[in-house]
Amino acid sequence: MSDVSIEKSQPYYEQFYHMIKKMIYEGKFQPGERINETQLAKEFNVSKSPIREAIRILEKEGLLVVEKLKVVVYEPTLKEVRDIYFCRKALESFAVSLTTQIASDEELREIEDLLEKTEQAIQANEEPNTIISLNEQFHNLIMNFTRNTRLQKQVADLRGLITYFRILNFKGESRAETILDQHRHIFNFMKKRDEKLAAEEMIKHLELDVEHLIEVLSTPDEGSKIVLKDK
């Protein structure tokens, strides 16, 4: 972590929150690995308080687990992966149905422009994180255009793990093209204002996502500590 610096202009707990989260997403902190508060405080010459606050937020998001006086990185289980995607299918199919009905033409053009931007990023061989972010924006725009804050909050509560799984789900040959193609299928029905078929395509997209994710987690890369437990 020697390449990480702490800025005095931003609250320390926010900086540690983003730093630890980024390291989890990038695999620098592996599932099941312990987060040592004392070591972090000593390395950055700060008290444990901001680190504990960052850990509290990440625990709430599900990315860290506090067990028996130690803090470890979340380890996905087969049941949890399926449970989260079950929630996503319910929430996001409703969201796309609602947005298809009420979104303005300008908002639909914004989604279409995002898909074009994603295709350009893929063709330009942009960094995976850039394309993953664009894919995330597709789902976020659909959710935002529902104008339903309660629905948005339900998804926001899962966002930490959704992003974590989205990054893992990007592994595999031609994943960027596959995901974009599925997003285009969803949007085609949105553009036609067919909320029923748009919702069905969203469910199909997420079902294919969870199948691929389970395959990825069941056959981890060499050196990876991720092992999908059947619980």
pLDDT of residue 223: 46
pLDDT of residue 137: 98
Residue 208, class by beta-carbon neighbours within 10 Å (0-12 exposed, 13-18 middle, 19+ buried)? middle
Angle at 149 between CA 144 and CA 155, to 5 degrees: 70
Closest CA to 138 of 193, 90, 179: 179
pLDDT single digits (tens) 72-110: 999 989 999 999 999 999 999 999 999 999 999 999 999
Whether 117 shows a pLDDT value over 80: the answer reads: yes
**CATH number of this structure's domain 12-73:** 1.10.10.10
pLDDT single digits (tens) 177-215: 999 999 999 999 999 999 999 999 999 999 999 999 999
Token pair listed for 167: 């990054």
| CATH superfamily of the domain spanning 78-218 | GntR ligand-binding domain-like (1.20.120.530)
Q: Give the other-Cβ count within 10 Å of 225's Cβ.
A: 12
pLDDT of residue 210: 96
Whether 1 shows a pLDDT value over 70: the answer reads: no
pLDDT of residue 228: 53
pLDDT single digits (tens) 121-162: 999 999 999 999 999 999 999 999 999 999 999 999 999 999
Which residue type sits at 88? R
Domain residue ranges in the chain: 12-73, 78-218
**Cα 163 to the center of its chain, rounded Å:** 1
